[in-house]
Every structure is written in C-alpha cells, then in structure tokens.
Chains A and B, each alone.
Chain A
Amino acid sequence: MHELYAILREITGYIYPNEVELHWGILIVVYPYITGLVAGAFILASLVKVFNVKEVQPTYRLSLLTALAFLIVAPMPLLAHLGHPERAYEIFLTPNRKSAMAMFGFVYAWYLMAVLLLEIWFDYRGDLIRLSQKEHGLKKWLHRIILLFSTDTSEESLKFDKKAVKFITVLGIPSAFLLHGYVGFIFGSVKANPWWSSVLMPIVFLFSAIVSGIALLLLIYMVTTLMRWKPIDMKCLDKLASFLFYMMIIDFSLEALDFLHRIYESEESIKILSQLVSSKLFVSLVVIQLLLGMILPLVALAATKLFPIPDELRRHIYFISALLVEVGIFTTRWNVVIGGQLFSKSFRGLTAYKMTLLGIEGLLMAIVLLLLPFLILYLLTLIFPPWPEAYETPAEAEATT
C-alpha cells in the first residue's frame, strides 16, 4: 500500500481518488507486444506461401516457429495479472458475448489450433517422416507421435500437404489480423478513455505488429545463421529490410494521421493529452518511440536503398535498425497501455506509474516472459529443425561443405 502513498506525491492537478492505483501495468504492455510479434511473424511467413516472395523462403519455417513460441507465452502475462487467475476458465464457460475481452479465448484457440499448429504440421510432415526414418530412440518416437504415425510420403500426399499449407495460410492471414486487430479493439473501444478510443487503434496495432514481426525475424535469422556458421543470404536480408521499410512507412503514416486528427479535432481531452505527451510521455513517446524507434531506422533503411552500401555495412545497418524498431514498438505498447492510464478521466490531472521490480506483476516477471519465447523457440527448433541441413544425408552434407 505504501507505494500508493508515494504516488500521491507525484500527482499533478486532480485525479479521482480511485485512480491513484494504476491497474494495467507492465504485464499488459508485454501482452500486446507478444501477440503483435505472433501476428507479424505469421504475416511474414504468409508472404512466402501466398504471395510467393521466394527471397524470404529461408525465414519461412523460422517465422512459423517464432509465431508459435510467442503464441504459447501470450496468455501468460494476462493470466499473471488477474486478481483471480484460478477463475480464468470462466472466460470459456460463461463468456459475456458483448465483451471484447471475452473473445480472447476463442480467438486464441482458433489461431493456435486451426492455424499455426496445422500449418506447421502439414509443412513439416514430409520432412519429419524422412527424418524419423533415420532416427532412433526417444527422438524417433517423439517425431512419430507428432506425425500421428503418418508415414505416407507418396507424391500425392506431399502435394496435398502443399495445398493444405497454402489453404491454411490464406485462412491464417485474416486470422492473424483478427488476433492482433482484436487486441487493438480491446483498447480502441474504451470510450471512457480518449487516449485509447479510436477506430484506427486496431489498424495501427496491426501494422506495428507486422513491423515488429519482420524486424524480429530479421534479427533471429541473422543470429541463427551466424550461430550455424552459414553465410547470410543477402537477397533474403535485403527483401526483409525492404518489407520492414514499407511497413514502417504505413505504420508511421497511420500514427501521424491519428495524431493530426486528434490535434485538428481538438476535443475536450486535448489539453490534458498534450500535457501528458510533453511531460510524462516525452521520453518514451517522442524520444524513443518516434525518434529512435521510427525516424532513425527509417532514415537508415532508406539510405541502404538509395546508396550502394557494401554487404558487411548493410548487415550492420539492418541489424541495428531492427533492434531499434523492436525497442520502438515495445515503447509504443508502453505508451498506449501505461500512457492511457497516466491522465485522469476527469481530464484535470496526471498521475504516475511506479513499476515494481519483484512480484508477479513486476519488471522481472516481464523480462522472464519476454525471454521465455526464445527458450521455447530453441526447443522447437530441436523438434522441428527449420534448416535444410537437418534433412540432408551425410553425403549431401559433405557435398555442400
């Protein structure tokens, strides 16, 4: 309770007494960040299958596994922040149909079961059968169970797999939009809160999700390739970077539109919101989200398009830009979630957020939840090797090295 007394000293103006406690903390920042990465990674994967962008093929399986790894973690921050996590199942049993949040369970289950798992299964089936034939012991059994004991590697069945993957991807794109657009809707539909309430919110969420997903895959692709001592495919990297660039431009335009719209309409809340932006959110919104997370990487990426820059340097630029973008999108989520709670609904005052370090809703927990998907991703790559060398016979491997 004493941390609430500490906040009392930081309040400027008037806030309703019940607003001293801020209710959605760092975990609710982590949640949309993670679902955004899921949606973004999946959209990248679908570029390969649906839009036939051959260059980014090396990231296809990685994208799927990344999406899965993050999707597994996605409900955890939500669960951890509940006052009564043990009652969470009620969302499935007696959902309130009018509540945006109640749909979480269904959207999540749909995306996990009907989209990601199925797509991974069909995509890996043929390869895993071949792999399991060479394996022994536990690994063999694990793969056979995952395969549901399917052993058919006939031409037709492989063709069917391909078709299935394509079909699921087509289904998956709107699903990914739904998954993350819906998270935007949770905020965008709160009419009590002018910082959130915007019809653009789901769309802004979506494009920032795609941006964060592509940037993440760019990073993961570079790191894993280096770790395997393989050469980086520059064509793939260039393509990733240019997708990142275009998506960032869309994202930036949407956010600029939202900003202009607010200023131009200049509603009742404009005074308190501009106070918010110029004081409590200045560093996280103007400096980090806008300058470091958006403008700087945009300029850097534009430079790689305009000038002939040697591969080595280009790789560095891509890497650093993608890192900055990740930090930028994280602060975007922060500015939405935390920023939306720093001003009073009386529009007469600002309050503060004091993040705790320990505890179930603290900073450490958030860091763990952000690192956990990488551990899961590592385990997934052991079960579903995303790299071609895993499926080569020793003779083939010999030939390629």
Chain B
Amino acid sequence: MSKKAKRKQKKSRRDALKTLVKSSLLLFVPLDVPNDPKLAEELKENLGGYDPTKHLWGMGIQIERCIGCGRCAWACKTENKVPKEPFFFRTWVERYIVHRDGEITVDSPEGGIHGFQPITTERHILRSFFVPKLCNHCENPPCVQVCPVGATFRTPDGVILVDEEYCIGCRYCIQACPYGARYLHPEKRVADKCTFCYHRIVKGLAPACVEVCPTQARIFGDLKGRASPLVRFMRMNKINVLKPYLNTEPKVYYANLDMAVK
C-alpha cells in the first residue's frame, strides 16, 4: 500500500493545480465517482494479478452461533498489529442482556478479547446474546464522504481503506462513522479501522477473525460470486444491518439481529 500511496502523492502534486481549479469551480456540484478506474488499474498492478473489479466483499454474522470467546478480536489485534490497549479495536464483541423489566445492559470488557464473565445477576433475564462488531464497509460510507483529503477511500471491490501515508489525522471520519468502527492509531497518528484483512483477501485467504472463529459465526465472501458461502448465507437467513435508517448501506449482514442492538 505504501508504494501506491507514494505514487499517488507524486501524482497528486502534478494534478494539484488542475484539481484546485476544478474543485473551486465544482464546489457545489455533487459528483459521484463510485469506481475510480485509475485506482482499479493501480491495485491490479500492485496486487499481482488480483482483479478488484471482479469482487465485492462482504461479511455475514450468525448471531446465535457466537459464543463470546473473543478470539476474533484477539486474532485481529495480532494480525493487524492493532495497539494492545483496550481503546483501539478493528473488531470487538458485545454482550446484550435483556431483562424481564425491559432494561437492556450491554458490555464489552476489553472488547471481549478475554471472553466474558458469567452473568451473576439475580434479576430475571429474558434473553442474552453476543454480537461481533466491525467496520461495515458501507456502500454509502459517511467516513469517505467527510475525509477532507481523500485518505479514506473505497476500493473497487467494496472495501473501505485508509491510506496511512496520506491521512492528516483530522479525525472527521471518526466523528462521521455511526458505528464507532474507527480509532486514531496512537503511534501513527492516523485513522485506523478494519480492512477486511485486505492483505489476506487479495491472496485468496479469509480475514483473520473469520479464520479463527471456532463456531463459524462469521462468514466472509464475495457478493458477486454466485455460489459463495456469503450468498448462500444470505439466501438462507433473514438479514438485517446496523442502523439501516442512516442509509449507510452496510456490507456486514447480521442474521437474526435483535432490535436491542445499535
């Protein structure tokens, strides 16, 4: 990614004037460039034959399968060198407890990395379940919209990435993400978040969290592929996404999502 970023930077200087003029003219004209063909070419060159235009990645989550062991969150931190402190997560697990009186308590101690303490309350519990969370790789991502320099971008295969050599650390994207999926990397001073393990998926591997889940609660796959496990999952289940009313169009799909989950 770093080579790409550097080239992008050089290109950026060359195009600077052009952009400056264009952008001041087009200040108020909303233009949509969902698939930048140049970016697709660049990625193809850099990723050794992987063609991003042929895929559209998403994730399915089977809530009733999740046992709250937190191994996904742990694997993610290890795989992606996410700072170990409990304030920085690319993925985490929440536990919901719905009490008889309607009260809902939620916890996620250290992101659920070490699992959860048994429930000890005397109160009557209606239901309880675990929900893994991560960046939803929204099709209509507010984080991409607000980034002033375009450091947060959408790849042609639908993954939302942050170019860490480009990000100025303004944190507008962190404010704009409705799901708390982003954090500021304390050493790099740039925004960071789940990449669907982009470095793995371009090699045909599954993201680390999917790989380690002992119950296969997470299903990763290609929304363009006909017979992919993800498409099968979406055929077999009633699907919901988080905060659908915000029109972010997430690509992380939950089966049997409870209304308590926000």
Contacts and interface: CB of A to CB of B under 8 A. Distances in A.
A124 to B, nearest CB: 29
A99 B176 CA distance: 11
B175 interface: yes
Interface in B83-136: 85-89, 92, 94, 104-108, 110-111, 133
A21 B192 CA distance: 14
B38 interface: no
Contacts of B26: 97
Nearest to B143: A192
A69 to B, nearest CB: 25
Nearest to A15: B180
Interface string A176-217: 000000000010001111000000000000000000000000
B80 to A, nearest CB: 14
A192 to B, nearest CB: 4
Interface string A71-98: 0000000100111110110111111111
A172 B177 CA distance: 35
A191 B246 CA distance: 7
A346 B178 CA distance: 8
Given A17-B108, A20-B87, A104-B148, A82 B175 contact: no
B88 to A, nearest CB: 7
Contacts of B111: 17
A14 B108 CA distance: 8
B171 A96 contact: no
A193 to B, nearest CB: 7
Interface stretch (B16-24, B221-229, B231-239): B16-24
B214 interface: no
B149 A18 contact: no
A346 B145 contact: no
Contacts of B27: 97, 103, 106
A283 B146 CA distance: 32
B108 to A, nearest CB: 6
Q: How large is the interface on B (under 10, 10 to 19, 20 to 34, 35 or more residues)?
A: 35 or more
Given A82-B168, A82-B170, A345-B178, A21 B105 contact: no
B16 A93 contact: yes
Interface string B192-210: 0000000000000000000
A100 B146 contact: yes
Label chain A's interface by main secondary structure. Answer: loop
A97 B184 contact: no
B185 to A, nearest CB: 8
A216 to B, nearest CB: 28
A135 to B, nearest CB: 40
Nearest to B149: A90
Nearest to B177: A192
A139 interface: no
Given A192-B246, A345-B180, A93 B148 contact: no
Interface string A346-358: 1110000000000
Given A21-B87, A93-B12, A88 B146 contact: no
Given A17-B88, A20-B86, 18 more contacts: A14-B106, A18-B174, A18-B180, A83-B188, A84-B190, A87-B166, A94-B19, A95-B23, A98-B146, A99-B147, A102-B149, A106-B23, A186-B172, A190-B175, A192-B142, A192-B177, A346-B180, A347-B262
Interface of A: 1, 4, 13-21, 23-24, 78, 81-85, 87-88, 90-104, 106, 186, 190-193, 341, 344-348
Interface of B: 12-13, 15-16, 19-20, 23-24, 26-27, 30-31, 85-89, 92, 94, 104-108, 110-111, 133, 142, 145-150, 166-172, 174-184, 186, 188-190, 246, 262
